[in-house]
Structure 1
Amino acid sequence: MEGKNIIIIGASSGIGYALAQQLQAQGATLFTAGRTQPAGIQSTHMVWDVTQTPAADAFTQLPDMLHGLVYCPGSITLKPFHRLTPDDYRRDFEINVIGAASAIHAAYAAIKKSKSASIVLFSTVAAKLGMGMHSSVSVAKSAVEGLAKSLAAELAPFNVRVNAVAPSLTDTPLADFLLADDAKREAANKRHPLNRYGTPQDIAGMAAYLLTDQASWITGQVIGVDGGMGSLK
């Protein structure tokens, strides 16, 4: 990753932080955006709250050329359908979809200029499998998949690749309530064919690969990194 300029939105914790650590070790020049500067990461940081400010107003320190953009912010709104409100759907859509579109729009010129860039978005296994209590986040993440595929088609003539990674349950701060005690962690392990839930490093590893030249013939894909949950019984 030497010589590559990469922006990670949401690099202060979870998958984004694990990715920033991996890319820093590989020599990438990092730019980060989010509410908090990621600790221990050498980056040009731009303060941005996805729900408050257009990315174009916040991304004032981007380089002229970007080789990669990764949008990590997400949400886990798990409620029975009858308890979900229109505001729940709006919030999930705003964080997952509008935020991603805003970030890509703000970086669009720098990404196209590289003529070899990679954009990585995040979906969820729940967009593929019907999972109760997930309707709001499933709607939002399904839209992320649509965004990835549409942009992949539109940007292919510029040799810009766009893919989405679809994890299952991963041990991040966002999922703390789902892994709050030993019983919940053991139940989460048993739901996966590989008998464990994911780590941030599992998911970050795939995102990092999609940013490399080794993945230069991969675009328009939704790649499950889910311990087999999305495909195996």
Structure 2
Amino acid sequence: MKNIVIIGYGKGIGLATAKILSGHHKIIGISRTGNPELQHPNIEVHRMDIISGNLDDIAFPEVVDGLVYAPGSINLKPFNRLSHDDFKNDFEINVLGAVKAIQKLLPNLKKSESASIVMFSSVAAKTGMPFHASVAASKSAVEGLTKSLAAELSSHKIRVNAIAPSLTDTDLAYQLLSTPEKRESSARRHPLQRIGHADEIGEMAAFLISDKSSWITGQVFGVDGGMGSVKL
């Protein structure tokens, strides 16, 4: 049984990943809100904001085999309405929070025989989309961080990969999917004619954490219904 830390496990993709992995692994779940509905003997719950909280308050296992950093943001505005604080907040959530978690857990990850780190980008990082300037900028930084750390940590046999979803049916995307008309319009924009589900992204995260992906590192995987690579 591996020890897997999932930050942002309380909702959406993080929660889906926790459900998938908890059947066979010990999960240390960290989120701002927790999730009282998710009760499992293999899940240890910690309520903490990754940005303002102190990770030293958590007694992590000596060996950590996987880290999934799942917090994210959807802050879509015209560029001239995006403030400096908007850019700072998106960067803090998507990048600096991941840096904080990885730096804290790196000694534990180095003790694993086969450790894996999974972060989250967005289809918008490589596909120009209007109103995505802030989130695309921070998610592009996630992709750069992924590749740099994959190179730096390879000597420790720590794999680092990222997943770049398109629009997924989670609480984070509620405003974009709040009516049947919005859902239908969003679905039509994807080559596969539908939006994504958290479980589908969670399955990819679970694969990248597992030993089945033991020869994969430094990659950014588009799980996006074809949005990032197919033009109809």
TM-score (norm 2): 0.96
Q: Which amino acid aligns with 2:206?
A: A
**Partner SS for 2:73:** coil
Map 1:4-43; keep pairs closer than 5 Å.
4-25=2-23, 27-38=24-35, 39-42=37-40, 43=43
Taking the aligned partners of 2:54 and 2:88, their CA distance within structure 1 comes to: 16
Percent identity of paired positions between Structure 1 and Structure 2: 54
**Partner SS for 1:114:** coil
Runs of 4+ aligned residues of structure 1 deviating over 2 Å after TM superposition are 36-39
Q: Is the 8 A contact 1:21 1:41 kept in 2?
A: no
Map 1:37-186; keep pairs closer than 5 Å.
37-38=34-35, 39-42=37-40, 43-55=43-55, 57-58=56-57, 60-186=58-184
Cα deviation for residue 54 of structure 1 reads 4.2
Q: 1:41 to 1:7 in 2, by over 3 A?
A: farther
Q: Is the 8 A contact 1:97 1:144 kept in 2?
A: yes
Q: Is the 8 A contact 1:54 1:102 kept in 2?
A: no
Cα deviation for residue 89 of structure 1 reads 0.2
Taking the aligned partners of 1:223 and 1:213, their CA distance within structure 2 comes to: 17
After superposition, the C-alpha distances for 1:146-204 in whole angstroms (9 at most, x for unaligned) are 11111100100011000000000000000000001110000011000011010001101
Match of 2:217 among 207, 216, 219: 219
Taking the aligned partners of 2:82 and 2:33, their CA distance within structure 1 comes to: 29
TM-score (norm 1): 0.95
The count of residues paired between Structure 1 and Structure 2 equals: 228
List runs of 5+ in structure 2 lacking aligned partners.
Answer: none
- Corresponding residue for residue 193 of structure 1: 191
Q: Is the 8 A contact 1:46 1:61 kept in 2?
A: no
Taking the aligned partners of 1:201 and 1:30, their CA distance within structure 2 comes to: 17
CA-based RMSD of the aligned residues comes to 1.0
After superposition, the C-alpha distances for 1:107-151 in whole angstroms (9 at most, x for unaligned) are 111101103100000000000101010000000000011111111
Q: Which amino acid aligns with 2:217?
A: T
After superposition, the C-alpha distances for 1:22-41 in whole angstroms (9 at most, x for unaligned) are 1112x111101112223324
Q: Is the 8 A contact 1:148 1:162 kept in 2?
A: yes
